């Protein structure tokens, strides 16, 4: 009975990693695409208004990391590296923008925790991850 439970747990972990990777990827693709649609102007304005240095550069950097990183996360390419970059973006957003209000902080906090958990979870992020496919 114990071995059977371990077998099912292993399968759930594989599918769970895939589901988390795809959902997180979609969230960031949508966020990055939204910033891209206005040429990152609104995001640049927000960063500039906060006194963020090189607001235009950072706005475009975040936009590209969210959009391309989200796609790479979905596909399973460089998933741990991409998740690390996205976690940094979310932690900066949490502490620089959203920390004053629980209603604003809970979304970037949840994404940060999920990304950090994903980074530290297992060698690869579930099924259909490129790092596993290379080994076979």
Predicted structure pTM score:
0.80
pLDDT tens-digit map of 47-99: 999 898 899 999 999 999 999 999 999 998 888 899 999 999 999 989 988 88
Rounded Cα distance between 15 and 4, Å, is 17
- Give the residue-averaged pLDDT of 32-57: 92
Rounded Cα distance between 125 and 15, Å, is 9
Q: Which residues of 56-86 are buried (b: 16+ CB within 10 A; e: fewer)?
A: eebbbebbebbbebbbbbbbbeebbebbbbb
**Sequence ranges of the domains in the chain:** 2-135
Report the chain's terminal Cα–Cα distance, integer Å: 30
Q: Which pLDDT does position 133 carry in this prediction? A: 45
Q: Which pLDDT does position 135 carry in this prediction? A: 46
Q: Which of 72, 124, 117, 127 is nearest to 90 (CA)?
A: 117
């Amino acid at each position: 009975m114990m071995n059977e439970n371990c077998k099912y747990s292993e399968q759930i972990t594989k599918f769970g990693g895939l589901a988390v990777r795809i959902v997180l990827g979609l969230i960031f693709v949508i966020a990055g695409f939204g910033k891209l649609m206005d040429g990152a102007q609104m995001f640049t304005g927000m960063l500039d208004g906060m006194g963020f240095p090189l607001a235009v550069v950072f706005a475009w950097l975040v936009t590209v990391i969210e959009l391309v990183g989200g796609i790479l996360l979905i596909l399973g390419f460089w998933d741990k590296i991409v998740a690390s970059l996205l976690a940094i973006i979310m932690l900066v957003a949490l502490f620089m923008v959203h920390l004053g209000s629980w209603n604003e902080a809970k979304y970037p906090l949840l994404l940060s925790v999920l990304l950090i958990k994903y980074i530290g979870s297992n060698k690869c992020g579930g099924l259909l991850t490129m790092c596993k496919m290379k080994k076979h």
